[in-house]
Structure 1
Amino acid sequence: MSPQLHNTVLISHLFSNTPNDEDNGNLPSSFTEYFRNYKAETKIISEETTRSIELCLKKGDLQRAKSVISDALRVIDNAPINIAVTGESGSGKSSLINALRKVKHSGGSAAEVGVIETTMKIKSYEHPKVKNLILWDLPGIGTPKFQPHNYLEKVEFKKYDFFIIVSSTRFKQHEIDLAKAIRIMKKNYYFVRTKVDSDLQNEEKCHPQNFDRKNTLKQIRNYCLNNFTGSNIGEPEVFLISNYDLSDYDFPVLMDTLIKNLLAEKRHNFLLSMPNITEAAIQKKYNSTKQYIWLNALKDGVFATVPVVGILSDMDIEKLKKRLNFYQDLFGVDDESLTFMAKDAQVPVGQLKKKLKSPYLLEFKKEETLGGLLLKCLEKFASANGGLLATGLYFTKTYYLEFHFLDTVAEDAKVLLREAYSKK
């Protein structure tokens, strides 16, 4: 059987139960079914938007559905995220900002780190890879130029999505009063206690015989919480973190809390900014990106004809190369990230690359073609999403490859994470 005839037969088999383009009766349930798989706090579109898309599909108003999806994607792309980080001198604010931006302290765009007061005025730091995400380093409340009575006015309170209040010892009355004011203004705040790794090390040195890590962390937390007694804001959650080991302590919990409390349309960009500290974090970033691809695919190709497996145009191939590079950069599987990791692990870059699949996705042997890869992706997609295919949800052929690229890059990121842990 010729390759072309084989492709035709296989595609016919994959979509044999697919209704014709006019039979859209099951489409709303398919759309609902897909997005229902994600928890409410991790969806990147609001329930209102989801219902609006469903209603358009139910009515058969495909142009309106496309318009609603386009508007939702535009909002996601342009939604600003402004994060305020404040606290006393030496509390670890700048280190936390660098960690959230995945920037080394020695980098040219890093927030200045020092034992003296380095934040005398408001400074902004853009995320190097996620547009519209800015972290603001605010002077601590009570400093000479930022007194409590006009602090919120001076720092332009309204523009921030939430406040992170940082301390390396205990939270003082000024910071507790700030939290009260933030709550009155109906915005979120989070108390973060930094440098717990140093506290644990000091405690172990002082009491090596009866050192208990779990008990020491409990004491640190209770010490912080005791400061809120009688404060009229209850007992807030305090996140214990180390700016130099984000995968440990409460940092993953802090990230989950921030995601849950953000508006749906702001979650995607925030999730993309998350460092690959755990496999769960990588999976959250993957899920968010997959939702985004799905929405783009629906906008560009829903109800299109079944994609023909064959030669992709130069424009298609160039687009795919850019998308692959984007995902590699996003998940830290790009050449620059691999070079840094190899240097830290003191191994050749080639040794790391051998463990990965994404660097070779667009490299083919003589008998292989990009069309052949597309065919494999269609088979895989049909196997995993047969119900959706059976209801007529077709995409332009490049999207099937894009889903494959995302799957591969995310798995590579997990491989690198496991490799990094094995070196510790």
Structure 2
Amino acid sequence: MDQLFSDTSKNEDHRDLESSFTAYFKKTKKESKIIPQETIDSIELHLAKGNIQGANSVIRDALKNIDNAPINIAVTGEFGAGKSSFINALRGVGPEEEDVAEVGVVPTTMRRTPYKHPKIQTLTLWDLPGIGTLNFLPKDYLEKMKFQEYDFFIILCATHFTKLELDLAKTIRLMKKNYYFVRTKVDTDLDNEKKCKSRTFDRAKTLQQIRSMCVNTFCQNNMDVSQIFLISNRHLSDYDFPVLMDTMIKDLPAQKRHNFILSLANITEPAIDRKHKSLQQTVWLEACQAGILATVPTVDILMDHVEKLKEKLNHYRVLFGVDDASLQVMAKDSQVPVEQLKKIIKSPYLLETKKEETFREMLLRYLEKLALGNGGLLASGVYFRKTFYLQFLFLNTVTEDAKVLLRQI
């Protein structure tokens, strides 16, 4: 009889886990999922059969693929198009930091040059010489530049796209790769137009004129009008830079989206939210992999768990740019004392305890906070191990800190 009750309880746990897993990934938009749909289907099938070990094996492999999936982005364009500045902006690297892509007044790129992202080691941006610089035909140029290694190409210009660049795009398309036309330095164009026509200046009209000039170039070269992204490397939240990032995320394979999303700068609140949702998926997957307990979580937590939690919290702070080093840079750039920035955020103090408060009491307090803020998660009938409750709390707090700092500066 005891065995019967035990088996029944296990089956109920499996069904709870399956329904929660299915519900969670159903509400996640297709373009935001960090694992392929066929992988999700496989996990659900294992859970439906009560095969927890099989589900955990698929999840383990999926997480490993996410961690190790290389992302290679090719950036090309003629001298003066702003390639180096664009690469530095994508990497979140300032002009005087180490390993910065060199920006100068003479051509600096005569061969392809790799730049690793400082936080996401699987992401590499490749600075390619302009096709006109090497005087190659598009196909020869792509072979010389090892085009098969890249996930997609970004073609930059600061004035108008040349026939060589349009022919290059056609060849990239024939080779079944994605490319994006990016018109840089639109802020400079707007400033110049405003100086010339101070009384009649119309920002929207000027931007439309820039876009129309690019479209006309496509038409004159018998090429389908492609989407054109107007950006400023100095003001990333303005113009089409956020749209460009969204488009690239959607076009990437699911397992490569996660690290690319984490690499992006906190230029808008939607960008921060996207980072939060992506990391939330990894916490769910890790929690499922670790196993689900069908009991209310206990608070008997070992000190090695505490150290792991500290590492996880610091990891989130680095990814969201609210760690001590990032705060120092932010304070310098915004000319605000770093202590002032630290006063308006909460994550640095999450694991601090008062002398009279034990870690057990602190954990209970955090679980209570989490229950209030995430009732839907806790009310689902599935209870994660205690460490995962805290990971969600850390993630939510760090996300809010990033938004608070964005508004402040």
Normalising by the smaller structure, the TM-score range is over 0.9
The one of 279, 289, 298 equivalent to 2:288 is: 298
**What residue identity is the alignment partner of 1:36?**
K
Q: Which residue of 1 aligns with 2:4?
A: none
Q: Which residue of 1 aligns with 2:354?
A: 365
Q: Which residue of 1 aligns with 2:192?
A: 202
SS of the residue 1:315 aligns to: helix
**1: CA distance, partners of 2:161 / 2:360:** 60
Tell me if structure 1 keeps the 8 A contact 2:35–2:254: yes
Report Cα offsets for 1:47-83 as digits up to 9, x if no partner. 1111111110000000000000001001100101000
1:321 equivalent to 2:337? Answer: no
Report Cα offsets for 1:104-123 as digits up to 9, x if no partner. 12212110111221111110
C-alpha spacing 1:170/1:145, structure 2 compared with 1 (3 Å): closer
> How far 1:222 sits from its partner (Å)?
0.6
1:416 equivalent to 2:395? Answer: no
Tell me if structure 2 keeps the 8 A contact 1:20–1:392: no
The 5-angstrom pairing of residues 156-167 of structure 1 reads: 156-167=146-157
> How far 1:103 sits from its partner (Å)?
0.3
> How far 1:394 sits from its partner (Å)?
3.1
> How far 1:304 sits from its partner (Å)?
6.4
Q: Which residue of 2 aligns with 1:287?
A: 277
**What residue identity is the alignment partner of 2:388?**
Y
Q: Which residue of 1 aligns with 2:234?
A: 244
**What residue identity is the alignment partner of 1:319?**
K
The 5-angstrom pairing of residues 167-206 of structure 1 reads: 167-206=157-196
C-alpha spacing 1:146/1:109, structure 2 compared with 1 (3 Å): farther
**2: CA distance, partners of 1:269 / 1:144:** 33
> How far 1:339 sits from its partner (Å)?
1.0
1:257 equivalent to 2:242? Answer: no
SS of the residue 1:338 aligns to: helix
Of the structure 1 ranges 297-306 and 269-278, higher mean CA displacement relative to structure 2 is found in 297-306
The one of 51, 62, 65 equivalent to 2:52 is: 62
> How far 1:364 sits from its partner (Å)?
1.6
**What residue identity is the alignment partner of 1:91?**
A
Of the structure 1 ranges 91-100 and 141-150, higher mean CA displacement relative to structure 2 is found in 141-150
**1: CA distance, partners of 2:146 / 2:79:** 20
The 5-angstrom pairing of residues 211-230 of structure 1 reads: 211-230=201-220
User: Which structure 2 segments of 5+ residues have no match?
Assistant: 1-7
**What residue identity is the alignment partner of 1:94?**
S
The 5-angstrom pairing of residues 72-83 of structure 1 reads: 72-83=62-73
1:148 equivalent to 2:138? Answer: yes
The one of 315, 331, 353 equivalent to 2:342 is: 353
> How far 1:230 sits from its partner (Å)?
4.8
1:44 equivalent to 2:34? Answer: yes
User: Which structure 1 segments of 5+ residues have no match?
Assistant: 1-18
**1: CA distance, partners of 2:137 / 2:361:** 66
The 5-angstrom pairing of residues 87-102 of structure 1 reads: 87-102=77-92
Tell me if structure 1 keeps the 8 A contact 2:293–2:384: yes
The one of 386, 391, 409 equivalent to 1:397 is: 386
SS of the residue 2:134 aligns to: coil
**1: CA distance, partners of 2:11 / 2:139:** 65
Tell me if structure 2 keeps the 8 A contact 1:300–1:395: no
Report Cα offsets for 1:156-206 as digits up to 9, x if no partner. 011100000000000010110011111111110000000001001011111
**What residue identity is the alignment partner of 1:92?**
G
**2: CA distance, partners of 1:44 / 1:73:** 9
Q: Could you tell me the percent identity over the aligned residues?
A: 61
**What residue identity is the alignment partner of 2:237?**
S
Of the structure 1 ranges 390-399 and 228-237, higher mean CA displacement relative to structure 2 is found in 390-399
Of the structure 1 ranges 145-154 and 160-169, higher mean CA displacement relative to structure 2 is found in 145-154
SS of the residue 1:68 aligns to: helix
**2: CA distance, partners of 1:416 / 1:386:** 27
C-alpha spacing 1:386/1:278, structure 2 compared with 1 (3 Å): closer
**1: CA distance, partners of 2:368 / 2:263:** 32
Calculate the TM-score normalised by the size of structure 1: 0.91
SS of the residue 1:276 aligns to: coil
The 5-angstrom pairing of residues 14-33 of structure 1 reads: 20-23=9-12, 24-33=14-23
**1: CA distance, partners of 2:204 / 2:212:** 12
1:341 equivalent to 2:341? Answer: no
Tell me the C-alpha RMSD between the 2 structures: 1.7
SS of the residue 2:74 aligns to: strand
**1: CA distance, partners of 2:373 / 2:266:** 26
Any runs of at least 4 consecutive aligned residues in structure 1 with deviations exceeding 6 A, and if so which?
none
Calculate the TM-score normalised by the size of structure 2: 0.94
**1: CA distance, partners of 2:378 / 2:10:** 12
Aligned length: 401
> How far 1:374 sits from its partner (Å)?
2.3
The one of 257, 261, 265 equivalent to 1:267 is: 257
